[in-house]
C-alpha cells in the first residue's frame, strides 16, 4: 500500500459527487483548485476513507445551517484539503482528545447520531503514515474546520524550452 500513488483530481470529483447525491438537502461548496495531473503518494482507498470520515462528521454534526465547504488545492509541494462545517463545534477541552480512539464529546447527544468515536483516530493515523498532517480548529456553536496536508509527488521538471534543440 505504502508505495501506491493516487491522482488527486478524479478522486476529489468522485467524493464530491457521491456526497452531493447522498445529501441533497445540503449545500456543498466544492472549491477545486487542484492542478491537473497532480498525484499524492497514498493508497487511493485510504485517502477516500479519510475524506469520507471528515465529510460524514461534517454532516452528522451540522445543526440548522446545512452547508459544508469542501476545498482542495495544490501548490508546488502540498495537497491541502479543507472540510468545514457550520455546526455544533467542539470545545477547547475536547479538541485535543477527539483524535483518541473511542473518544466522543457528548455521549448522550452523540449517541443519537451513531458512531463509536473511531473515525478521527483512524483518519489521523492514516494521514500520518503517509507523512501528512491532519489539524482541526473549532468554535463551539459556529463550526469546525479540518485541514489535511499531504506531500505531492514531484514530477521531473519539463525540459526547458530554451535548451531544446541545442
On whether the CB atoms of residues 8 and 34 are closer than 8 A, the answer is: yes
Would you count residue 84 as binding ligand ATP (CB under 6 A)? no
Stretch binding ligand ATP (CB under 6 A), from 16-24, 34-42, 111-119, 154-162: 111-119
On whether the CB atoms of residues 124 and 142 are closer than 8 A, the answer is: no
Would you count residue 104 as binding ligand ATP (CB under 6 A)? yes
On whether the CB atoms of residues 81 and 123 are closer than 8 A, the answer is: no
3-class state of residue 82 by DSSP: strand
Q: Tell which one of 50, 68, 119, 150 touches ligand ATP (CB under 6 A).
A: 119
Quick note: the x/- pattern for ligand ATP over 44-83, rule CB under 6 A, is ---------x---xx--x----------------------
Tell me the pairing of strands 67-74 and 133-139.
unpaired
CA distance 102 to 108: 14
Would you count residue 115 as binding ligand ATP (CB under 6 A)? yes
Minimum CB distance to ligand ATP, residue 67 (Å): 13
Amino acid at each position: 500500500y505504502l508505495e501506491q500513488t493516487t491522482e488527486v483530481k478524479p478522486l476529489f470529483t468522485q467524493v464530491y459527487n457521491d456526497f452531493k447525491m447522498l445529501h441533497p438537502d445540503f449545500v456543498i461548496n466544492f472549491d477545486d483548485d487542484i492542478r491537473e495531473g497532480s498525484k499524492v503518494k497514498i493508497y487511493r482507498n485510504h485517502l477516500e476513507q479519510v475524506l469520507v470520515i471528515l465529510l460524514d462528521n461534517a454532516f452528522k454534526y451540522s445543526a440548522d445551517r446545512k452547508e459544508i465547504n469542501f476545498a482542495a488545492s495544490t501548490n508546488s509541494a502540498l495537497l491541502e484539503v479543507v472540510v468545514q462545517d457550520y455546526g455544533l463545534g467542539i470545545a477547547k477541552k475536547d479538541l485535543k482528545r477527539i483524535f483518541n480512539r473511542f473518544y466522543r464529546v457528548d455521549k448522550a447527544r452523540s449517541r443519537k447520531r451513531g458512531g463509536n468515536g473511531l473515525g478521527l483516530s483512524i483518519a489521523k493515523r492514516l494521514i500520518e503514515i503517509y507523512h501528512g498532517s491532519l489539524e482541526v480548529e473549532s468554535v463551539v456553536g459556529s463550526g469546525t474546520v479540518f485541514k489535511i496536508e499531504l506531500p505531492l509527488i514531484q514530477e521531473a521538471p519539463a525540459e526547458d524550452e530554451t535548451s531544446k534543440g541545442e
